[in-house]
Structure formats: structure tokens, C-alpha cells
Chains A and B, each alone.
Chain A
Amino acid sequence: MIPLAYPLTLSALLFTIGIASVMIRRNALMMFMCIELMLNAANIAFVAFSRAFGQLDGQIFVFFVIAVAAAEVAVGLALILTIFRTRHSIEVDDLHDLRG
């Protein structure tokens, strides 16, 4: 029997690693990968809660999170590719043309 605090702590640690890394990185692909890390942290929390309460709703939510993450990655990577084709750089500091 594993107390619920263990997976929640793991989820919190993973989420914090992801968000700290997104704030530090300037490479668009790395930021994307750390966003996926944050989504996985939330999924772990969902599955742990679903088991703790004996209801399947948490797992259904994880199902939808995985589907939405797949859609988001497809469009996001297509965007990064298109940006790289015109600017030859994926550092987000170089993408400042919309700034007034």
C-alpha cells in the first residue's frame, strides 16, 4: 500500500523540473519537450487519484490529455519547422518581429 502523498510528490517534482526548465531555456524544441514533461506530471497525479478513489474518471482524463498532447505536438512541431525554414534559428529570442 503506497500512500497517496508519494505519487503526488513525484508529480510535483516532475512538474517543477519541467516548469523551471521552460523558464530557463531559449531553444523552442527544448521548451516543447519540457511542456510534455509537465503534462506527464499531471497524468501521474490523475492516475494516482483515480486509483485512490477507485473511480475510472481520472484515467479517462489521462486518455484525453494524451490525445490533446499528440495534437498539440503535431501542430507545434510543424510551426517550429516552418519558422526554422524562414529564419534558420529556433531560439525564441530571435522571434521578435511582432514586438512593437
Chain B
Amino acid sequence: MNLETILFIITGAVVLAAAIAMVVTRNMVHSALFMVVVFLATAVLYLVYQAPLIAMLQITVYAGGIMVLFLFVIMLIGAEKMSHVENLRWQRPLALGLAGVLLAETIYVAVTTTWLQPGRELSNSVAVSPDFGSPRAVGLVLFSQYLLPFELTSLLLLVAMIGAVVLSLRGERER
């Protein structure tokens, strides 16, 4: 039980606790703030797994961009005052039961294929260069091998931007 495992377990516990708090709480603003905690703890997890560029992207884009958008929309539609009554009688136990089945299945597959096979235990102790996950290394792969998806993603972001602007136009045709 070295320091790395302890760090992973603590960060994982924070992620899970914040995620459960996010789905359980009745107040939407509290949900959004717990979501920010989930994102920040996940960024710490990425740092444990030697992905510093992805960790910084997570904080900048997810916690700093997407959650701010959510908070703005919550403010604009007044969601903190919305009532939270979900009138689902038989769907809730069914959903929880099926989700439990999915969880058991996924954990079973994950554990048996990566842990319990002698000679094939995978962990994060594979020797990698200290450059692994740095912006330089990720950039070298991104702009050589994954150039086409990169350009397509920029096109996707442009389309999303146009779509968001068009959707938010305040119906000038109605006047």
C-alpha cells in the first residue's frame, strides 16, 4: 500500500462522494457545484496517471467552461427555485436494479480480465519516458497521426458555435 495507491483511493473516494451528492441533492446549484468538485478531483486523478496536459484541459474546459455555462443557464431559467418532484413509481426501482446489474457486470469483466490472470496483470507500472503525457509528446502524436480528427473537431466546434448563436436569437421574426 504505497503512497500512489493511497492517493488514488482518496481521490477516487472524493470523486464518488461528490458524484453521489450531485445526484441526490435537491438543489440544482448544489448539484452544479458538486459537479465542479467531480471535475477537479478527476483532474487530480489524471495527474496521478501521468496525463498533465489532459488534467489541465479538464480544469480549463470542463470545470472552467462547461460548468460556468451550466451555472449561467441555471441562473437564467431560475432553476434553483424549481420543484423537484419526480413522479415515477415503478421506474425508479427498475432503473436502480438495472443499473446495479450493469455495475456488477462491468466490475466483473474489469477485474477478471486485468487482475486475476497470472502473468497479465496490468497496472500503471509500465516504464514510460518522463515525457509521457506532456504537451510536447501529446502534440507530436496529435498533429501527425491524428491530424484529420483534429481538423474535424475544429469544424465541429465551429458548427456548434453557429448553432448555439442561432438557437439563442430572440425570435426577431416574431416582431
Q: Which residues of A contact B (CB under 8 A)?
A: 1-10, 12-21, 23-27, 29-30, 32-34, 36-37, 40, 43-44, 47-48, 50-54, 56-57, 59-60, 62-64, 66-75, 77-82, 84, 90
**Nearest chain B CB to A32 CB, angstrom units:** 8
Distance of A3 Cα from B137 Cα, bound (Å): 25
**Nearest neighbor of A88 in chain B, beta-carbon distance:** B77
Is B160 in contact with A33, judged by CB distance below 8 angstroms?
no
**How many pairs, one residue from A and one from B, have CB atoms within 8 Å of each other in the complex?**
238
**Nearest chain B CB to A73 CB, angstrom units:** 5
The interface size of chain B toward A, counting residues with CB under 8 Å, comes to 85
Most buried by B among A14, A47, A68: A47
Partner of B50, one of A6, A34, A51, A57: A51
**Nearest neighbor of B165 in chain A, beta-carbon distance:** A78
Is B8 in contact with A52, judged by CB distance below 8 angstroms?
no
Distance of A28 Cα from B123 Cα, bound (Å): 38
Whether A20 touches B153, Cβ cut-off 8 Å, given contacts A36-B66, A75-B163, A84-B77, is no
For residue A34, which residues in chain B have a CB less than 8 angstroms away from its CB? 23
Residue interface bits B1-43, CB-to-A below 8 A is 1, else 0: 0101100110010011001101100001001100100110010
CB within 8 Å of A: which of B118-144? 121-128, 132-133, 137-138, 141-142
Whether A3 touches B122, Cβ cut-off 8 Å, given contacts A9-B111, A27-B82, A51-B51, is yes
Is A27 in contact with B124, judged by CB distance below 8 angstroms?
no
**Nearest chain A CB to B172 CB, angstrom units:** 14
Distance of A29 Cα from B76 Cα, bound (Å): 12
For residue B19, which residues in chain A have a CB less than 8 angstroms away from its CB? 14, 17-18, 37
**Nearest chain A CB to B30 CB, angstrom units:** 11
**Nearest chain B CB to A18 CB, angstrom units:** 8
Partner of B124, one of A2, A19, A72, A73: A2
**Nearest neighbor of A58 in chain B, beta-carbon distance:** B51
Is A44 in contact with B42, judged by CB distance below 8 angstroms?
yes
Distance of A34 Cα from B82 Cα, bound (Å): 18
**Nearest neighbor of A19 in chain B, beta-carbon distance:** B99
